[in-house]
Amino acid sequence: MRLGGFGDVKGGKSVKLKTRLIISFLLTTLLPLLFAAIIGSAVIIPQLMMLNESYGIETSNVCDYINSSFGLLNKLNHMVDEQVREEVKNDPDMFRDMDWVKKLNNDLEGKNSYIVIRQFGEYTFIGTSQTGIDVINRAVLYDDMTDYEFLEKYGQIYSVVPVTYSDGSEAKIFVFTETNDVIPEVRRIMISIAIVVVIILLLTATVLVYWIYSSIIQPIGALRVAAQNIKDGHLDFDIEIRNDEMGQLAADFDDMRKRLKQSAEEKVAYDEESRQLISNISHDLKTPLTSIKGYVEGLQDGVANTPEKQQKYIHIISTKVNDMTRLIDELSLYSKIDTNKIPYNFMDISVNDYFDDCAYDIRQDLEARGIEFGFFNYLKGDVHILADPEQFNRVINNIVGNSVKYMDKTKEKGRINIRIGETDTKVLIDEEDNGVGIDEKDLPYVFDRFYRADASRASTGGSGIGLAIVKKIVEDHGGTISAKSTLHAGTVIHIELNKYIEPEVNGDEQNFNC
CATH topology of domain 245-338: Helix Hairpins (1.10.287)
Answer yes or no: is pLDDT of 359 > 70. yes
Region class of 155: left (phi > 0), else alpha (psi between -120 and 50), else beta: left
Q: Which helix (H) or strand (E) holds 47?
A: helix 44-55
Highest mean pLDDT among 65-69, 262-266, 404-408, 507-511: 404-408
Superfamily of domain 347-498: Histidine kinase-like ATPase, C-terminal domain (3.30.565.10)
What pLDDT digit, counting tens, does each position of 366-407 carry? 888 889 999 999 999 899 999 999 889 989 988 998 899 888
Q: What single DSSP character describes residue 216?
A: I
C-alpha distance from residue 471 to each of 21, 51, 110, 420 (Å)? 55, 96, 106, 18
pLDDT-based confidence at residue 100 (cuts at 50, 70, 90): very high
Q: Write down the domain spans for the chain.
A: 77-184, 245-338, 347-498
Give the dihedral of Cα atoms 39, 40, 44, 48; nearest 10 deg: -150
pLDDT-based confidence at residue 5 (cuts at 50, 70, 90): very low
Answer yes or no: is pLDDT of 213 > 90. no
Residues 103-109: contacts with CB under 8 Å, at least 24 apart: 108/80, 108/83, 108/175
pLDDT-based confidence at residue 40 (cuts at 50, 70, 90): low
Give which of 336, 467, 460, 338 is closest to 399, Cα–Cα.
467
Q: How far apart are CA 321 and CA 20, in angstroms?
A: 74
pLDDT-based confidence at residue 259 (cuts at 50, 70, 90): confident
Give which of 362, 332, 504, 330 is closest to 431, Cα–Cα.
362
Average pLDDT across the chain, whole number: 78
Mean pLDDT within 457-463: 47
What pLDDT digit, counting tens, does each position of 271-298 carry? 776 777 677 677 767 778 888 888 888 8
Class of domain 77-184: alpha beta
Rounded to 5 degrees, φ, ψ at 414 are -80, 155
Q: Which residues pair with 163 in a beta bridge?
A: 171
> pTM value?
0.47
Range in 210-214, 220-224, 288-292, 360-364 the model is least confident about: 210-214
Is residue 257 within 8 Å of residue 231, measured between CB atoms?
no
